Amino acid sequence: MSPPRTPRRERADSAGTVRAGAGPRRPSVPATARWLIGLLVVLVGGLALSGTALAATTTPPATPQAVSQATAAPAQQTDGIEVSGTLRDQDGEPLAGVTITAELDGAPAGEATGRWELTVPSAGSYTFRLDESTLPPGTEVLQGETVREVSDGALNTVVFRFGEEVAGGAGGGFAMFLRLLVDGIRFGLVIGIAAVGLSLIFGTTGLTNFAHGEMVTIGAVVAWFINVGGGVQLIPATIIAMLVGALLGAANELGIWRRLRRRGAGLIAQLVVSIGLGIALRYLVLIIFGGRSESFADYTAQTVRNYGPIALTDKDLSAIIVSIVVLVGVALLLQKTRIGKAMRAVSDNRDLAASSGINVDRVILFVWMLGGALATLGGVLFALSELSSTVQYEMGFRLLLLMFAGVILGGLGTAYGALIGCLIVGVLVQLSTLVLPLDLKYLGGLAVLIVILVFRPQGLLGSKARIG
């Protein structure tokens, strides 16, 4: 009688690898995803700590002093918080030798010429006054005193208004409403340019990309480097930056997201990776570009032109025209071209599109390149029309909430819904300044985001679906 067989045990080969006697091997995808996420969290934490330490060691308090842009050397660094502005009369001519004073417990300021920069010692609510006795004869001032909340790391810009008050037709209130409505449409179009790529990426991959705001920042920073450092006019510099943005989008897809999808990483894991990637890119831009607000070499200050009750600068009008042309071009791309129809098919049903012969990976790669180029253009237009032609490392992060509000309002995954939602958000943000302080106008976007998630989470043009 033969002895009973004992169960098969795990045995080790000569290399020390444990092999199971029976049963399939466990997949290694979850462990790989956890390793990648843990590595990214450690990297982001290290960058955050290093950025905090760098900020703590480079911003000690100092005495206030005024700096004129015409005479300050780039190598000279001043401590404190910088406040800037541009002095131009009603004809658009720079004003020289005008005295600007800042008051916070008697803190003085100096003399500014044209584009001016002023360093104040600390954060606080400052009262900025323009000495009208130093203005050239015939210069009319609409607003020569303003109160500005100055904070470290923010874009601290002070605006003084010159010229005659624009007549409001039958009523000044209606004229103000009309001007804010046009500003809201302009702002909404700019948000839409940056958010269309975010919506298309979600529609084709299901990824909620929190790093998309940093694509906006990187596009504006690249355009600034080409414009200021390379001496290239801003329009061709923007086109070059859009090509760089498209290449960066392709690098994101090929280097990160396609690998995660092929390894079976879930949407929650990809969401965490996108958050960490956004933080890492923001600190990378801070290290390379710096924390100061920098101006483009072109279109820094322009004359406001009156079109009836509406007042617009040439760059604001150009931003509206460029946004409309680009968005119409994207719509025609989606409706009339083969790649556009393939994008819509992948967005509707990726498996069915693949079974019908569509190269899904190639379509997703094109979507990432298109999203990167549009984010770059949106960053330049946002800097020109909303940030007084200045670039800063947090600008994309500030726009990210409004992009998400517009995309969710219109419907996640739909390009046309994103456009409609961004237009509504832009108008509400500008009209909110009728009842809210100017520094709090972005709260309107947050309110829209909360309301739409509570009452209609699928958005205006979206369909009900379970996500996650």
Handedness of CA 283, 285, 287, 292 (dihedral sign): negative
- Amino acid letter at 142? L
Domain ranges of the chain: 81-162, 178-455
Residue-level pLDDT at 155: 60
Across the range 109-118, mean pLDDT stands at 59
- The Cβ-side half-sphere exposure at 405, using a 13 Å CA radius, reads 25
pLDDT in tens, 153-203: 666 777 766 655 444 444 457 778 888 899 899 999 999 999 999 999 998
- Reduced to 3 states, what is the DSSP secondary structure of residue 218? helix
Question: What is the CATH T-level fold of the domain 178-455, as seen in this structure?
Answer: ABC transporter involved in vitamin B12 uptake, BtuC (1.10.3470)
Q: Which residue has the higher pLDDT, 120 or 347?
A: 347
Highest average pLDDT, of 110-119, 147-156, 288-297, 325-334, comes from 325-334
Give the whole-angstrom CA distance, residue 28 versus residue 30: 6
Compute CA distances 301 → 86, 94, 187, 297, whole Å. 7, 9, 18, 10
**pTM of full prediction above 0.75:** no
Instruction: Report H helices in 349-458.
Output: 350-355, 360-386, 395-410, 415-431, 443-455
pLDDT band at residue 278 under the 50/70/90 scheme: very high
Mean pLDDT of the chain: 75
Give the whole-angstrom CA distance, residue 389 versus residue 252: 28
81-162 is a CATH 3.40.50.740 domain: no
Across the range 2-6, mean pLDDT stands at 48
Residue-level pLDDT at 107: 57
Give the whole-angstrom CA distance, residue 395 versus residue 296: 15
pLDDT in tens, 340-395: 999 999 988 888 999 988 999 999 999 999 999 999 999 999 999 888 788 988 89
Residue-level pLDDT at 369: 95
Residue-level pLDDT at 116: 67
Give the whole-angstrom CA distance, residue 464 versus residue 201: 19
pLDDT in tens, 301-355: 667 777 777 878 888 899 999 999 999 999 999 999 999 999 999 988 888 999 9
pLDDT in tens, 405-450: 888 888 776 778 888 889 988 888 888 888 877 777 777 777 877 8
